[in-house]
Chain A
Amino acid sequence: MKIIVAIKQVPARDSQLKIQSGAQWIEEDDLTFEINEPDAYALEEALQLKEKHGGEVVALCLGPARAASTIREALAKGADRAIHISEESINGLDTLAVAKLLAGAIKSEAPDLVLTGLQSDDLGYGQAGVVLAELLGVPHATIIMQVSIEGGTLRVKRELEDGWFQFVTMPLPAVLTIQSGINKLRYATLMGIKKAKTKEIKVLSAADAGGAGTAVSTLDRVYVPLRTKVSTIFEGDAKSTAAQLVEKLKFEVRVL
C-alpha cells in the first residue's frame, strides 16, 4: 500500500508572533518552525498503517527551502521518501492553489491513500485536504479519529460535535484529514535521524507540479483579534439565574 502524507511546516506553537508592516503576513525572521500538529498525527497514522499492511509512506510538503528540516524529520520518523514542492512564498497561495500543487505532485504517484492534517495551525482553513480530494477525484472524509483497512475497504471514525462520532466505510483510494491526538507520536530516534540523510527527497518546482493557477481568494489583512468585553447580568431568582447561566455555559461558551 502506498500512502502519501501531506505535511506543512508552520511556526512553532510557543512563538511570539509579530505582524509584518504591510499586515500581509507575520514576521518570520526570528521564528522557529515545526511540523503542523495534525500533520504529525497524520504521519504517525500512516507509519502505523504501513507497519500493519506493508507498503510505502511518502511525505509530501509544499513549502520554502526551510521546510526541508520538517521533511527530514518525517524521514527520520520512518517515511520512506519525500517530495518537496519548493515554493518560497506559500503564504500568498490560496487553498485552491495549494491543493492544485499537491494534487499535481500526487497524481503520478497513484497512491492508495492520502492523509493530511485536519487543518493548519497557521491559517486554519481546514480545506486543503477536501479540495485536494476533489481535484484527485477520490472520496474523502474529515476529522478522522480512527482508521482501519480491511480487504481494500476503509473504515474510519469521524468526530462530530458534542461527543458524537460517525463511522464511515469508504473505498480506496481516498483522502482523509486527520484530527490531532488520535495516536501516540513516535520520536525521531538518533538512528532515524542518521538514516534520513540517505533517503530520497525529490524536489519539484511549482511548475513541475502543474502550476498553482490563479487565486480565487486572497488574504486581505492579518491582524490580532480585538478583545471585546461584554458583561451580561442575569435577572430573576436564584433558580432561574442558575438555569440561564447553565444554558450560556453549555451552548454559548461550551464548557459544560
Chain B
Amino acid sequence: MKHVIIGAGAAGITAAKVIRENRKDDEIVIISTDDAVYSRCMLHKFIGGSRNVAELSFIPPNFFEENNIRWRSNKTVTGVNIKEKRIVFNCGKCGKQSNESYDRLLLATGSQSFFPPIEGLRPGPAVCTLRDLSDAKKIRMKADNAKNIVIIGAGLVGLDAAYGLVEMGKTPTIVEMGQHILSANLDPRAAMTYQAKFEEAGCRFIFGNRVKSIEFDDFGTSGTIVFESGDKLPTDLLIVAAGVSPAIGLLKSSGIPYNRGVIVNEYLATEAEYVYAAGDITGLSESWPSAISQGEIAALNMCGIKSVYDDILERQNTVNFFDIPSLSVGRLNPEPGDVVHIREDQQRYQKVITQNNISVGVTLQGDISRSGFWQYLIKHKIPINNAQESLWKTSFADSYELDANGEYKWAK
C-alpha cells in the first residue's frame, strides 16, 4: 500500500509517523512546498534571531530515515486526479511538472494567508505575510534596512511578527481595525497588558481606522497607506496579518467537494474514495493540537483502523510575550445571564465566566499554573463543585478517578 501525504506540517508529519507505527512495510511519501520541517508557531523566534532553522524543527533530525519515509520537498501540488489516483506537482526549483500515484492520499496543506481586498494591496518586494519559513526569512531580511515597518492586523500572527521584530530591535506600527489587540484570543483587560508592553518596547498601535488604499512606488519598494480617515502612513515593509483560510487551491478541478475547507466525515475522509484530510485544510480548527490530533485519526483510517474524530472543538489558545503567559478557553467576554468571577493582583489576572454554574470561559494571565483542567471542564460542561469553599479552589480533585492502568479519568 502506498500512502501519499501532501504537506509536511503538524498534520502531515504526525500522520506519517502514525502510519509507520501501524504499517511497517507500507510505502510513505510526503510532498511539500516547505523545504524544511518547522513549527510555524515558532517563526517569530527565527525573525527575532533566537532560533535558527534547525531549532524550529519539531521532529528528530533523522525522522525520515528512521521511519523510512520518502520526503519530496520543494514541490507544490497543483492538482489531484481522483480517477487515476495520482497527484500532479511542480518542482519548486525547475518548475517541471511531475506526478505521483497513491493508494491512500492525505490532504494536509494547512492554511494560507488571506489578502484583504484593499485597493493597491498586492504581493511585491515590500509586502509580506507570515505563514511559511520563507515569509519569516523575507521579513528578517527586509526588516534589516526598513525604516517604516507596518503590520496590518493585531491578531496572534501579527503580534508574533511584531514580537520577532522587537527582538530584532525594530519598532513596527500595528494597524488594527478593531478596538484592541488579540481580540480573538483575550479579553480587553488581558490584551491591554501586552499592548502596554509592546508600546514600552517602542511599537505604535492604530485602532479603529480602516485602511482604504495603499499606493506603492514604481518599484514596489515603498509606499503610502491611506486610511479612511484620510490619515497617511509611509511604509517600506508591510506585513499583512489579516487572517488565514484553508489551503484548498489544489482541489479546484479535482471534484473533491469543499466549502471554506475540504469537507470531511467523522473518519476525516473526503467525499472522494481513498482521500483523507487533516489539519487547517479541513476548516474545523486552526490550531496546532487539532492538526496533530486530526493527523493521527486520519492516519489510522488510512491504515484501515476505523477511528472516529470526536474531539470537542472549543476556542482555545495560549499567548506568551515578554515572559507573561496567558491562556484562554471558550468565551472571552460574558453574554447576557453569565456570571463573571475575577481575581487579580499585580502578578495575575484570572477570569472565569459561568452560566448556570457551568464554566463557559476562562482567561488566565500571569499565573497559569496547573490550570489545564479548566479546558476539560468547559469542553465537557462539568458544573463547578460548590462543596469547595471558593470557585478558585476548583480542580480535578472533585472528579478524581483512576482506571485499572492507573491513568486518571474524570468521574461521571
A associates with B: no
